[in-house]
Amino acid sequence: MNKKKIVMRRLINLLALAAMAGVCLLSTGAKTASAYVEVEKHPIDIALEAKIDGDSSTQATIAAYEWATREWDKLMNANYNALMKKLDQEKRERLRVSQSQWIKYRDLEFAFNEDYWGGFDGTMHLPSPYAYRSNFVRERALRLGYYLEDLNE
């Protein structure tokens, strides 16, 4: 793959991350928005970048994002289960409902996103829905992790 395509892919990925960060900042209050500023990269992000840097072909990039989505999902579930153990009964029920609704929203959003990106020509766009899915689950995993960190302080 030529250098221009690699740069374009990285730009698309950065824009997707920036968009997700913007959603986080807009959907939270000023006090909690600062919690979404990450100083260090998460190990999953570092491994994902290494996978894409190692092989930036379309199929390898898709496989890397699929891997990252699975890893973020594992982290999200671990954070969810840990939170459920720390919350009182009322908050556990609210988190259970919230997570259930988030999963429904995720599934609808993924279906729309796949249809949306499917309308573009060229292999450059093929990884886009996979990057979006990964970033979408990443945001939820980190958000649940932030809640957990707050309870551990």
- The pTM for the full model equals 0.74
Distances (CA, A) of 75 to 44, 70, 80, 136, 139: 10, 9, 8, 13, 11
Range of the domain at 46: 3-152
- C-alpha to C-alpha distance for 72 and 137, rounded to whole angstroms: 6
**Greater confidence, 22 or 152?**
152
- Could you give the CA distance from residue 68 to residue 47 in angstroms, rounded to a whole number? 8
The torsion angle over the Cα atoms of residues 63, 77, 109 and 51, rounded to 10 degrees, is: -20
C-alpha 149/C-alpha 28 separation (Å) is 17
Per-residue pLDDT band at 150 (split at 50, 70, 90)? very high
Please name the residue ranges forming H helices in 1-153. Answer: 3-26, 30-33, 43-54, 58-86, 89-117, 128-152
The H or E element spanning position 2 is none
Comparing 35-39, 99-103, 119-123, which segment has the lowest mean pLDDT? 35-39
The number of distinct structural domains making up the chain is: 1
Amino acid at 18: A
Least confident of 23-27, 141-145, 146-150: 23-27
CB 83 within 8 A of CB 151: yes
